[in-house]
Amino acid sequence: MVIWIMADTPSKAAAEVDAVIVGAGFAGLYMLHRLRGLGFSARVFEAATGVGGTWYWNRYPGARCDVESLEYSYTFSEELDREWRWTERYASQPEILRYLNHVADRFDLRRDIQFETTVTAAVFAEAQNVWNVETSRGERVQAKFCIMATGCLSSAKKPDFKGLEDFAGKWYQTSHWPHEGVDFSGQRVAVIGTGSSAIQAIPIIAEQAAHLFVFQRTPNYSVPARNGPITPEVMDDWNLNRARYRQRARASAFPILSIDMADRSALATPPEERERAYEERWQRGGVCLAGAFSDLIVNQEANDTAAEFVRAKIRETARDPAVAEKLAPKDYPFGTKRLCVDTGYYATFNRENVSLIDLRCTPIEAVTPQGLRTSDASFELDSIVFATGFDAMTGALTKIDIRGNGGVALKEKWSSGPRTFLGIMTAGFPNLFTITGPGSPSVLSNMVVAIEQHADWIASCLTYLRERQLVKIEATEQAENEWVAHVNEVANATLYPRANSWYVGANVPGKPRVFMPYIGGFGSYSEKCDEVAEKGYAGFALSAHR
Ligand SMILES: Cc1cc2nc3c(=O)[nH]c(=O)nc-3n(C[C@H](O)[C@H](O)[C@H](O)COP(=O)(O)OP(=O)(O)OC[C@H]3O[C@@H](n4cnc5c(N)ncnc54)[C@H](O)[C@@H]3O)c2cc1C
């Protein structure tokens, strides 16, 4: 269905759809719903066989959200919000996937989503002012706007270990888990990697496997989830105050209420009181430990107090002192890699059937037909689980052959690191939007809140253009340069860039080291986005002509 015709030459062919949306996770589903509601035509392409994005792909044992379920859900529909009942403080992957399927059905979204279809290319035709979008099925769709809802953590790193093709056992990736599940009973299993996914999966695999070998390169700070059913008291309070809570979250620096960001300095607090504060938050569980003091992320000395607190907890929990020392992170500040939230992770290393192998001392040399060889030992294995992370934030975008003005490839433009204005658009690529793109708060926030804010902004922007018969919007080089400088400036005022994290691309060999998310605070960021829109999209060039 074609809803509107290009303003300058109505006689020429119009786009087949107003917008192509790539991806059907939280972002793509909501974007489709918003655009439809405004009378735009849209077509969604999704590589998977169903909706859900992250929650479709990551079906590994123990997968669940680490932002509390009541917060990690859409806010756009009060009816949806009220009718859906989360059962646990942190919903499991199957429950979140059920929720997203419910959303797709409730808002009748599936009829505009084409599954099992990967977008392989999107090329901007300047003369016609349209995006030519190509798919793995050989289709070609013309769209006025192209909206990338491709996800920040959707492009998994492929395991590239020498010898993997000759491994006689089975191997899995946490990010592409078999739908039928895996039974590790009686098996010798290796988990490679100790990031968020591994930390969730390891305690559960350890309960099944005959022996579990955990291969760790970088230890992570992890806090106890203290998961459990949502109590009637919590639910009543949420029902009574949800609008106020949601509003407060949206206005805060990290739109996650449960962080409960304190307004006092760790260094200015007497040591005993400080320990009490850490202990209280450790007992409360979840990411609130990171909010114990306001200077943890900007002052190394303050940060050391939190880091030492977690290290002491690890030493208290893991009974073998040598294992505890390996598990305790020491060479990067607390909270500067995504804080992991676990259920029984450190205690798992007290099990007789679990061994920790420190890859910094004895790196993996190769996968062998029987298992795996490090520099000092061989391990016989039935299964290997790779939890080796993602080419975060840019991977899903640069995988697509995206070409803007003059045929310039996005990959080329971003070869020294991503450049955007507000994380929403990049200069030279008119009418191309990125939901939670690099340069926006995205992964440093509650992603659902960040997604809704971007999708709403994009929807308003398209409406603004339509009302004024404008056909093109593009970030200016100047606005982009200033924004990139600002993103770097605020990042460099924190301890974040000191860690070799996926936030800086350090987990992907050859990826330029750039701090990708915006750390300047979600509330002020969304105010900036609103201000830009109110000023007639200041920092963007708008045009009624091709
Ligand atoms: C294990 C795990 C746990 C997480 N837990 C939390 C949490 O607790 N809180 C939080 O805020 N965030 C969490 N996240 C981040 C999570 O990714 C976001 O919260 C959210 O799900 C992102 O939604 P999205 O729609 O933007 O992207 P995704 O859910 O990643 O969806 C993107 C979709 O786009 C599709 N796609 C990509 N490229 C193409 C292409 N070229 N053609 C067609 N389809 C394509 C993918 O197949 C995917 O389905 C977690 C991430 C992971 C991996």
Identify the DSSP state of 339: P
Between β-strands 354-358 and 364-367, what pairing exists: parallel, antiparallel or unpaired?
A: unpaired
CB atoms within 10 A of CB 494: 19
- Residue 31 Cα distances to 23, 40, 116, 149, 402, angstroms: 10, 11, 19, 8, 20
pLDDT computed for residue 261 by the predictor: 94
Q: What is the rounded CA–CA span in Å between residue 81 and residue 72?
A: 11
Rg for the chain (alpha carbons), in Å? Answer: 24
Please report the atom of ligand 1 found closest to the CA of residue 196.
1
Phi and psi at 465, nearest 5°, equal -65, -45
Provide the β-strand partners of residue 409. 403
Q: What is the rounded CA–CA span in Å between residue 440 and residue 423?
A: 5
Between β-strands 17-22 and 140-148, what pairing exists: parallel, antiparallel or unpaired?
A: parallel
Q: Could you tell me the distance, in angstroms and rounded to a whole number, from the CA of residue 90 to the centre of ligand 1?
A: 17
- Residue 447 Cα distances to 65, 160, 387, 451, angstroms: 11, 29, 21, 6
pTM: 0.96
**Ligand 1, CB within 6 Å, residue ranges:** 22-28, 45-48, 53-54, 56, 58, 63, 65-67, 72, 118-119, 149-154, 197, 396, 400, 435-436, 446-447, 451
Identify the DSSP state of 402: E
Identify the DSSP state of 536: T
Provide the β-strand partners of residue 114. 45
Considering only CA atoms, which residue is closest to atom 52 of ligand 1?
54
DSSP 27-47: HHHHHHHHHHHTT--EEEE-S
pLDDT computed for residue 10 by the predictor: 36
Decide if 220 contacts 337 (C-beta within 8 A).
yes
Q: Could you tell me the distance, in angstroms and rounded to a whole number, from the CA of residue 447 to the centre of ligand 1?
A: 9
Decide if 344 contacts 350 (C-beta within 8 A).
no
Which amino acid appears at position 530 of this protein? D
Considering only CA atoms, which residue is closest to atom 48 of ligand 1?
53
Q: What is the rounded CA–CA span in Å between residue 80 and residue 84?
A: 6
Q: Could you tell me the distance, in angstroms and rounded to a whole number, from the CA of residue 62 to the centre of ligand 1?
A: 17
Which amino acid appears at position 490 of this protein? V
Q: What is the rounded CA–CA span in Å between residue 169 and residue 97?
A: 30
Q: Could you tell me the distance, in angstroms and rounded to a whole number, from the CA of residue 344 to the centre of ligand 1?
A: 25
Q: Contacts from 273-282 at CB under 8 Å and sequence distance 24+? A: 274/305, 275/309, 278/305, 278/306, 278/309, 282/223, 282/224, 282/309, 282/313
Q: Could you tell me the distance, in angstroms and rounded to a whole number, from the CA of residue 442 to the centre of ligand 1?
A: 11
CB atoms within 10 A of CB 408: 14
Crossing angle (nearest 10°) for helices 447-467 and 522-534: 0
Identify the DSSP state of 358: E
Mutate to test the pocket of ligand 1, among 150, 398, 435 (most ligand atoms within 8 A of CB): 150
Please report the atom of ligand 1 found closest to the CA of residue 256.
11
* CB-side neighbour CA atoms (13 Å) of 529: 29
Q: What is the rounded CA–CA span in Å between residue 310 and residue 334?
A: 9
Considering only CA atoms, which residue is closest to atom 41 of ligand 1?
119
- Give the position of tokens 């109110």: 534
pLDDT computed for residue 6 by the predictor: 35
Q: What is the rounded CA–CA span in Å between residue 335 and residue 290?
A: 7
Q: Could you tell me the distance, in angstroms and rounded to a whole number, from the CA of residue 178 to the centre of ligand 1?
A: 17
Assigned token pair, 33 = 């719903």
CB atoms within 10 A of CB 49: 9
Q: Map residue 523 onto helix, strand or coil.
A: helix
Q: What is the rounded CA–CA span in Å between residue 312 and residue 310?
A: 5
Identify the DSSP state of 333: -
Considering only CA atoms, which residue is closest to atom 29 of ligand 1?
53
Nearest CA-CA partner of 45 in 156, 107, 124, 135: 135
Q: What is the rounded CA–CA span in Å between residue 234 and residue 75?
A: 18
Strands (E), 300-368: 340-342, 354-358, 364-367
Assigned token pair, 38 = 């405004």
Strands (E), 119-221: 119-125, 130-135, 140-148, 170-173, 188-192, 211-216
Q: What is the rounded CA–CA span in Å between residue 430 and residue 55?
A: 31
How would you write the pLDDT of the chain (546 residues) with one tens digit per residue?
333 333 333 334 445 999 999 999 999 999 999 999 999 999 999 999 999 999 999 999 999 999 999 999 999 999 999 899 999 999 999 999 999 999 999 999 999 999 999 999 999 999 999 999 999 999 999 999 999 999 999 999 999 999 999 999 999 999 999 999 999 999 999 999 999 999 999 999 999 999 999 999 999 999 999 999 999 999 999 999 999 999 999 999 989 999 999 999 999 999 999 999 999 999 999 999 999 999 999 999 999 999 999 999 999 999 999 999 999 999 999 999 999 999 999 999 999 999 999 999 999 999 999 999 999 999 999 999 999 999 999 999 999 999 999 999 999 999 999 999 999 999 999 999 999 999 999 999 999 999 999 999 999 999 999 999 999 999 999 999 999 999 999 999 999 999 999 999 999 999 999 999 999 999 999 999 999 999 999 999 999 976
Q: What is the rounded CA–CA span in Å between residue 454 and residue 152?
A: 14
Please report the atom of ligand 1 found closest to the CA of residue 153.
17
Considering only CA atoms, which residue is closest to atom 34 of ligand 1?
23
Considering only CA atoms, which residue is closest to atom 5 of ligand 1?
65
Would you call 441 exposed, middle or buried from its count of C-beta atoms within 10 A (0-12, 13-18, 19+)? buried
Q: Could you tell me the distance, in angstroms and rounded to a whole number, from the CA of residue 232 to the centre of ligand 1?
A: 30
Q: Could you tell me the distance, in angstroms and rounded to a whole number, from the CA of residue 420 to the centre of ligand 1?
A: 20
Considering only CA atoms, which residue is closest to atom 21 of ligand 1?
54
Please report the atom of ligand 1 found closest to the CA of residue 447.
11
Decide if 142 contacts 20 (C-beta within 8 A).
no
Please report the atom of ligand 1 found closest to the CA of residue 399.
41
Q: What is the rounded CA–CA span in Å between residue 288 and residue 105?
A: 34
Q: Contacts from 503-508 at CB under 8 Å and sequence distance 24+? A: 503/336, 503/337, 503/338, 503/392, 503/443, 503/444, 505/392, 505/394, 505/417, 507/157, 507/388, 507/389, 507/392, 508/157, 508/391, 508/395
Which amino acid appears at position 523 of this protein? G
